[in-house]
Amino acid sequence: MELLTSIRHNAILRALPDRAQARLCEAATSRHLTRGDRVWARATPVGGVALVCTGVVLVALPAFTQGADIGTDLYGARDLAGLDDALHGIEHTTDATALSSVRLVDLPCSVLLEELSFSPQAAMCVAKEIARRSQSVARRLRAQSADVERRIAMMLLDLYATWGDDDTSDGTHHIPLRLQRRDQASLVGTSVETLIRTMSKFARDGIVTQDAEGTIVIAKLDALRSIADRTIGRATTAADV
C-alpha cells in the first residue's frame, strides 16, 4: 500500500489506470541512498526510471572543459528522475547523485514505457513534464552569458519557485534544501570560490543568508529579483567563473 501511495503522488503515474499502477508496484524495487551516492552514472545502461520518495537528487552534465560538472536539474519527492534518458537512449547521458538521504523506487523501463503507450492521458503528462524541465534547462544555459551575480540570483529564484516556503512571522522566504556550496556552484556553472564571494556580498547587503543547517533564507525577495532581471551591463570576466 505504501508503494502504491508513492506512485499515486506523481502526476504522470497517477494518470495511469489502476491495473497499470498495480503492475508497476509488482515490478518496482526500492533503494535507500546517503549523500554522495550515485543514482546513476553517465554512459551506463538505462534500466529504469527513479521515483524520488524522499530527499533530493542532482543531475549533472560533464563540464565542457576541465572543472566541475554542470548541474542541470534537481529532483525531489514525487518526481520521476531519468525519464528523458529512458525515452530516447540506451545509456544515461548524465550523472545523478543523492544530495541528502534519499529513498527511491526504481521502475523498469520496459514496464513503464509499455504502460505509457496505452495511456494518452499519462503520455500527455510526460510531454508536459519534459517540456517544463527543458525550458528550465534552456533558461539556465541562456543565463551563462550573464554576470555571475545575475546567474546566482536566477538560480536562487528558481529554487525558491520550486522548493521555497514563506515565514509569515518575519516576511522571509526559505529554501530548505541544505545545498552545499559546490552544489550551488554546479547549478550556475561557476567556481565554489566565486559563489562564496557572491553569496557573502548578498549577505552583507541583507538580501540572502544561509543558516547553520544550510537553509537558504531570502530576506529581500524584490532585491534578488531586481538583480536577476537587470540588463547585462558588462562582459563576463575571469573573476566571474
Residues of each domain in the chain carrying CATH 2.60.120.10: 2-141
Of the two residues 238 and 145, the one the predictor is more confident about is 145
pLDDT category at 64 given cuts 50, 70, 90 is low
Reply yes or no on whether the pLDDT at 239 is more than 50.
Answer: no
Residues of each domain in the chain carrying CATH 1.10.10.10: 147-240
- The SS3 call for residue 205 is coil
Rounded to two decimals, what is the model's pTM?
Answer: 0.82
Q: 2-141 falls under which CATH superfamily? A: Jelly Rolls (2.60.120.10)
Amino acid at site 171 = G
What is the reported pLDDT for 170? 87
Q: How many residues does the chain have?
A: 241
Of 27, 90, 102, which Cα lies nearest the Cα of 59?
102
CATH code for the structural domain at 147-240:
1.10.10.10
Q: For 98-151, what is each residue's pLDDT tens digit?
A: 999 999 999 999 999 999 999 999 999 999 998 988 887 777 777 777 889 999
| Dihedral angle sign, alpha carbons of residues 39, 42, 47, 48 | positive
Of 41, 66, 73, 57, which Cα lies nearest the Cα of 187?
73
Average pLDDT of the chain is: 88
| Residue 32: other Cβ atoms inside 10 A | 13
φ, ψ of residue 58 to 5 degrees: the values are -100, 130
Of 97, 49, 90, which Cα lies nearest the Cα of 73?
97
How far apart CA 161 and CA 155 sit, in angstroms, is: 10
How far apart CA 12 and CA 15 sit, in angstroms, is: 5
